Amino acid sequence: MTAQSPVRWSDPEQQELEERVAATELAWLTMDVDVQTLRVEIDNFALIHHQLLGPLYTRLDELDALIAEAVAARTGHPEDVRRAADARRQVDELPDLESLFADIQEQEAAAAPPEPPTRVRPGKEAQRIYRDLARRAHPDLSTDPAEQRRRSAFIARVNEAYAYGDAKALAQLAEEWSTDPEAAPAVDSPDRLAWLRQRLEWLGGKIAEVAAEQVRLENTAMGELLALSPQDPDRLLEELAEQLLAKAAAQQAELERLLAAPAGRPVDDRTENPTQETQTMFPQIPSIDAAAVPADAVLLDVREQDEWDAGHVDGARHIPIGEVVARIGELPDAKLYVLCRVGGRSAQVVQYLVQQGLDAVNVDGGMFAWEGAGRPMVGTGGAEAFVL
C-alpha cells in the first residue's frame, strides 16, 4: 500500500459512519420486512373476514330494511317511509354476488379454473430468507440504474414467493442470488465520507416512509380489527360472528314482534303477548341440537388443531375455519353437520357453505353441547378426550 493510499478505518469518523450506516440499513430492511409481513397478514385476514362474515353483514342489512319497512307500513309517517326507502336502497345497491359469480364462470368456462384463495402467514423460515434477500438484493442498495433494474426484477419474484409464504421458492431464489457477485462500494475513495453522510440521510428518509406505511396499514379497518387479536385471528372471527349472530337474533325478534302485533298498536308497545303466528321474513341459519344429530351424520369440525387433538368425534372431518374456503372442494356431496367449540365459528361456516349451495347445518352449542349430551368423543393418540 502506498503512502497516498488511505488505510481502512484509519479515520475514526469514517469508522463511526460505516457502523451507523450498516446499523441503519439493517433497521430499515427489518422494518420493511415487518411491514410487508403485516400487509400480507391484513390482506389474508380481510379475505377470510369478507368471505365468512360477509353473509352475516348482508343479513343484518336486510333485517334493518325489513324492520324499517314494517314500521313504515304501520305508522305511515313520512319520516318512517323515508327511512325505510333509504334502508332498502342500501340493500338493493349491494352487488348480486351470485349473478356476478355466474357471469364470471360463464366468461371463464373455457379457461382453467382459478386456484382457490388460500390464507397465508409467512413462517419464520420464510421471513428469515426474505429478510436476508432484501438485505442483499434490494434495488435501493445500488446506485447504478442497470443494476437497480436487475435487482427490481429479482425482488419482484422474491415478493411473489413471500406473499404465498413459499419458503422453498425463497430458498431457491436465495441460492440463485448467491451465484451473482455483489459489487461492494469502495472504502478507500476520498469521497467515501460524503457518500456515507448522504447515505445515512437517505436511509433516515426511507425509515420514515416505511414507518408511515406501517401506521397507515395499522389504521385501516382490517388492521385495527387484526390488532385486537394478532396471534389468534380465528378466535377473533368467532367472537365477531357471535356478536353479529346475537344482533341478527335481536333484529329477527323485533321484526316478528312488529309483524305479529295487532293493527293499531303502537310499535313501541312491548307488553303485548301476541298469539298470531307469522311467517319468518328471513331464513335462520340451519341448526340442530347436539343430541339430535344422527349417528351416521357427516360431521365437519372447524376448530383448530389443538382443540381437535384434545377431543373430537370419531370419524368427523377436520378442516380449521381458516382453511374452509381453500378446501371446500374436499367436502362430500352430503348433508354436513358443522361443529366448533360453542357454535360461533361453525355458524360462520354454515352461512358460507349455504351461500355456496351446500347442504349444511350448525350444531347448536358445539362440542360443549355434544359432550353435555353424552355423545362419544375421542382424543388424539388415545388420550382421554375433553373439550378445549
**Burial of 317 per CB tally in 10 Å (0-12, 13-18, 19+):** middle
Find the catalytic residue in 63, 65, 319, 340.
Answer: 340
What number of other Cβ atoms are within 10 A of residue 129's Cβ? 23
Cα separation, 54 vs 313, whole angstroms: 29
- Whether 119 and 44 have beta carbons less than 8 Å apart is answered as yes
Q: How many angstroms separate the Cα of 66 from the Cα of each of 52, 104, 123, 255, 286? A: 23, 30, 46, 7, 21
Please indicate whether residue 340 is annotated as part of the active site. Answer: yes
Cα separation, 241 vs 53, whole angstroms: 7
What number of other Cβ atoms are within 10 A of residue 229's Cβ? 13
What is the arrangement of strands in the sheet containing 336-339, beginning at the earlier edge strand? 287-289, 360-364, 336-339, 298-301, 317-318
Q: Closest by alpha carbon to 120, among 132, 108, 130?
A: 130
Cα separation, 122 vs 355, whole angstroms: 30
- Whether 329 and 348 have beta carbons less than 8 Å apart is answered as no
Which own/partner pairs from 64-73 qualify as long-range (CB within 8 Å, at least 24 positions apart)?
A: 64/90, 64/91, 64/251, 65/90, 65/91, 66/255, 66/281, 66/282, 67/251, 67/254, 67/255, 67/258, 70/255, 70/258, 70/259, 71/258, 71/267
- Whether 283 and 95 have beta carbons less than 8 Å apart is answered as no
**E strand residue ranges, the chain:** 287-289, 298-301, 317-318, 336-339, 360-364
Treating both helix axes as pointing N-terminal to C-terminal, what angle do 221-228 and 233-260 enclose, rounded to 10 degrees?
Answer: 110
**E strand residue ranges, 329-370:** 336-339, 360-364
What number of other Cβ atoms are within 10 A of residue 14's Cβ? 16
- Coil/strand/helix, residue 288: strand
Positions annotated as catalytic residues are 340
